[in-house]
Amino acid sequence: MADDIRITQRLVRGSFRLDVDVTLPARGVSVIFGPSGCGKSTLLRAIAGLEPAASGQLHVAGACWQDARHRLPAHRRAVGMVFQHSALLPHLRVDANLRYGWKRAGAPTALLEQWIEHLQLAPLLARRPQSLSGGERQRVALARALVTAPELLLLDEPLSALDATRRAEILPFLEAVRREAGVPILHVTHAIEEVARLADHLVLMEAGRCTAAGNALELLNRADLPLALREDAGVVWEAEARARDAHGLLELHTPAGSLFAHGEPHPPGTRLRVRIQARDVSLALRRHDDSSLLNLLPATLLALETAPNGQVQARLEAGGTPLLARISHRSLERLALQPGMPLWAQIKAVALLV
């Protein structure tokens, strides 16, 4: 279809084989997720035209970039690409780095000004890359890719080289790019937090192949996929920001009820995502209001499944939404848990970040 990105890419390199056949929407953020070495970055490079040995087909929003008879060279593919390291030109100031690709693309001045504003780069324009923090360099690299007016934005683990503080700083800027860019984005990562915050569509990869693809929230919350067995297994809920107290605690409205969480200020009515890890959910037979736990939600136990490290994973339903809890066998026996039982799910507010 004209509004799809149709990808069929194959590549053999030694013992590694990339064999991907997937169709992605030509809008929003498609996150390609999987363990290191599974072929995520190789697939992104093939899409950019940087893997000459890759065969197959590539159609982007109705335009053929590659098939059996035709292969558009990398320099003619209208892509903006951001790598793990910013790859800025060290001898040029930030403004010159931005203008270098912008001039070659012949993009309008308004586009340059737009991304300097959206990514808050005005205070950095006179500085050289070596004087910037890692997060600042990646913001410049993002802007440099966007000012060329790409038809497709490719992000190859742009946060992987940053520490947790810098990642937290740049994630809101990536969310701004998601809202404002108006072009499809393919984002490669092995960090589940980035998937939860950014993904509209999700592609799961393993050993060079696509194992599942579809709506991000649906896949993130499916109990039959390997994501549900990870140590950091959890669910992602959509929520709406409500009130905020003097200590920075934010009240969220969700289908399962009110939740309290920490995070950046958000105006009331803002749509957010909240990720609830299974290990942060405890279970009780009755509601307890005499504890420090603020988030108490009625739930129904759907199933009990074996989890790694001798634990048990409880699959729950709360307000029509899925929820996971990771508990011990001792807790399972002490509460005599059985599928179908009504329970109370207890979640620490400090464990939730939005």
- Domain locations in the chain as residue ranges: 4-229, 234-351
Q: What is the spatial order of strands in the sheet that 312-318 belongs to?
A: 281-284, 342-347, 295-306, 312-318, 321-327
pLDDT in tens, the chain (354 residues): 457 999 999 999 999 999 999 999 999 999 999 999 999 999 999 999 999 999 999 999 889 999 999 999 999 999 999 998 888 999 999 999 999 989 888 889 999 999 999 999 999 999 999 999 999 999 999 999 999 999 999 999 999 888 888 888 899 899 889 989 999 999 999 999 999 999 999 999 999 999 999 999 999 999 889 888 888 999 999 999 998 888 889 999 999 999 999 887 888 999 999 999 999 999 999 999 999 999 999 999 999 999 888 899 999 999 999 999 999 999 999 999 999 999 999 999 999 978
Q: Is the separation of the CB atoms in 36 and 191 below 8 Å? A: no
pLDDT at 133: 93
pLDDT at 62: 87
Rounded to two decimals, what is the model's pTM? Answer: 0.91
List the beta bridge partners of residue 271: 240
221 vs 199: CA distance, rounded Å: 13
CB burial of 287-309 (b: ≥16 within 10 Å; e: otherwise) equals eeeeeebbbbbebebbebeebee
CB burial of 120-156 (b: ≥16 within 10 Å; e: otherwise) equals ebeebeeebbeebebbbbbbbbbbbbbbbebbbbbbb
105 vs 266: CA distance, rounded Å: 36
pLDDT at 2: 58
- How many residues are there in the chain? 354
Give the pairing of strands 234-244 and 209-215: unpaired
* Residue type for position 135: G
Domain 234-351, CATH: 2.40.50.100
pLDDT at 52: 93
Domain 4-229, CATH: 3.40.50.300
pLDDT at 267: 87
